[in-house]
Structures are given as C-alpha cells and as structure tokens.
Amino acid sequence: MLPAPFEYHAPRSVDEALDLLDQFGDEGKVLAGGQSLIPLLKLRFASPGHLVDINTIKDLDFIEERDGTLRIGPLFRHKAAERSSLLASRYHVMADAAPQIADPIIRNRGTIAGSVAHADPSGDWGTVLLAMDADLILRSKKGTRTVKARDFFSGPFSTALEPTEILSEIRIPAAKPMTGGSYLKLERKVGDFATVAVAVHLVMDDGKVGSAGIGLTAVGPQNLKAEKAEASLEGARLDDAAIKQAAALAAEAADPKADHRGSVEYKRNVVRVFTERGLKRAYERARGGG
C-alpha cells in the first residue's frame, strides 16, 4: 500500500519546523516515530499535503528531572522509556506501561508524544498522563501554551493540538517520596489494542492518600480520567472499603462499547478489578515494596 503523494520536509530545528507548519496550516502534519501515522497514510485515512519530519532535529529525544518537574521530549521513544532506570525507580505507572505498548519493533521507533498527539482512545500513554496530571506544552510560531492532559483530549483521535503546533514537551510533577503507580492492561495478544487498561498514580502523605490519579484506556471515546474515583480517595486511608468504593466509581466512569473483545458488562468489570488491583500495587510500591 502506498500513501497518497505528499511533500516531505526534514527541518533541522524546531523553529524551522514551526515555520513550515505555519505555512502549511491544515495541510501540514508532524511525523515523529510514524508508527501510527504511516499506517494511517497507507490506509489513506489521512492524506496531508506536507509531512514535517522532526526526526532530523537534534536534542528532541530527552527525559530529565529539573526544577521539580519530569520533562519528556517529543522524540523520546517507547523503547527508551522501557529501559529508563529513572522511570523504573520513581514513575512506576510509566515503567509498567512502556513494555506493554504495541510490540518490541514498534517500540524501537514510536514515541510517547506522538502516541499522545495521535489520541487513539485505545492508546496507553494518554491514560498514563491523565493519571499523572501532566501538562502538555504546545508550541507554534506564534508562541507557547500549556494544556492540562485532562483538557487535551476531545474525542477519538481529536485533541487541542492545532495543525500549526508541535507537542514540544510533556511535563509531569516530579515524584515525591511515597509515590507509587501501576498500569494494568488486558490484551488478547502482543501488539493488539487494549481490551481495557487502567493507570494508577498514587501519592501518599502521612499515611493517607495525598492524591490519586486514575486513567482508563479503551473504555470511552477517548482516554478517560476517573475523577470521581480520584476525589473519593483524597485524604482517605487506603483501606479495603476505600479501594472498593474507588473501583466502583471508576467502573461507573467507564463508557465502553461491546465488540469482539468483550461486552459492556465485561469491560466495566475489568475496570473495577484492575482499579482495585492497581491501587493495591501502587500502594505497595509507594511504601517501598514491589
């Protein structure tokens, strides 16, 4: 299969890329890892007139903790996340998710930012960022703005990102002591989209829940943030009753569709079970275990 014809641009700097995007408007599209975009081009679900490849720009492949913030660059790839000792030690929800993205060969090229910008409701990273309350930095020729992950997704494959903008950085509040997380995903086989997945990012404070982030994958028109479940946990002791209540609220927040992967009832029940398990695992990790 061949994509429809397009012009290809390989800018050497972000400014040059932004100039190009500004010039092309709706006809421009950013190419990062390409593991979602190139299949879309081949199937002709997308046929932009101009591709702006950012792989030729130096210094976009980074992850660093600075000034109380974890910063992730637009070319930081799944494989690097999978191997990051920083993520493994302090950002468990990301470390859990990384090896569950697609398959190992796709992870060699695909990027976190690209996956988020693609905004597949069955994508994993958007859910993780919702649980972590991430900020997305959107840069265009006209300037830079910051959008919360919860305000970024607006429907299937739809986001706040304008065609003239690049998702130039993902910012996550640096992990405090007593932080734990987990990402549980049910998939039929490696490389299949999630039937259901649940992200949990838990910060404990003096024996009680400081904050709890819960994200849901593949059970709605976009990645969901289970805000009622999160609110029910804030300030609570994380006992069985609190966990059960949060899990029930997360299941209520899910809005799945029946398909060959399962019925509505089944998927909602998986959300409940995974939220319970995820909270327990995150709690253990926050206390230095598992």
Partner 1 sequence: MGQAITVTVNGEKRSAEVEPRLLLVHFLREKLRLTGTHIGCDTTHCGACTVLVDGTPVKSCTMLAVQADGQQVTTVEGLVAGGVLHPIQAAFKEEHGLQCGFCTPGMMLTSIALLKENQDPSDDEIRWALSGNICRCTGYMNIVKAVKSAAVQMKAAAEVPAATAAARS
Nearest C-alpha neighbor of 213 from the set 132, 134, 144, 156: 132
Q: By CB under 8 A, which span of 49-57, 61-69, 122-130, 246-254 interacts with partner 1?
A: 49-57
Q: Is 270 in the site for partner 1 (CB under 8 A)?
A: no
Question: Total residues contacting partner 1 (rule CB under 8 A)?
Answer: 28
Q: Is 102 in the site for partner 1 (CB under 8 A)?
A: yes
Q: Is 190 in the site for partner 1 (CB under 8 A)?
A: yes
Q: Is 7 in the site for partner 1 (CB under 8 A)?
A: yes
Q: Is 88 in the site for partner 1 (CB under 8 A)?
A: no
Rg (CA), the chain: 19
Q: Is 5 in the site for partner 1 (CB under 8 A)?
A: yes
Q: Is 1 in the site for partner 1 (CB under 8 A)?
A: yes
Q: By CB under 8 A, which span of 50-58, 111-119, 154-162, 200-208 interacts with partner 1?
A: 50-58
CB of 166 to partner 1, least distance (A): 18
CB of 64 to partner 1, least distance (A): 23
Contacts with 162 (C-beta within 8 Å, 6 or more apart), sequence order: 138, 140
CA 157, CA 123: separation in Å to the nearest integer?
10
Q: Is 55 in the site for partner 1 (CB under 8 A)?
A: yes
Q: Is 191 in the site for partner 1 (CB under 8 A)?
A: yes
CB of 142 to partner 1, least distance (A): 28
Query: Among residue numbers 104 through 143, which ones bind partner 1 (CB under 8 A)?
Result: 104-106, 108-109
Q: According to CB under 8 A, which one of 103, 234, 259, 265 is a site residue for partner 1?
A: 103
Q: Is 42 in the site for partner 1 (CB under 8 A)?
A: yes
Q: According to CB under 8 A, which one of 16, 19, 27, 53 is a site residue for partner 1?
A: 53
Q: According to CB under 8 A, which one of 28, 30, 34, 230 is a site residue for partner 1?
A: 34
Contacts with 262 (C-beta within 8 Å, 6 or more apart), sequence order: 195, 196, 256, 270
Total count of residues recorded for the chain:
290
CB of 119 to partner 1, least distance (A): 18
Q: Is 28 in the site for partner 1 (CB under 8 A)?
A: no
List residues binding partner 1 (CB under 8 A).
Answer: 1-8, 10, 34-35, 38-39, 41-43, 51, 53, 55, 102-106, 108-109, 190-191
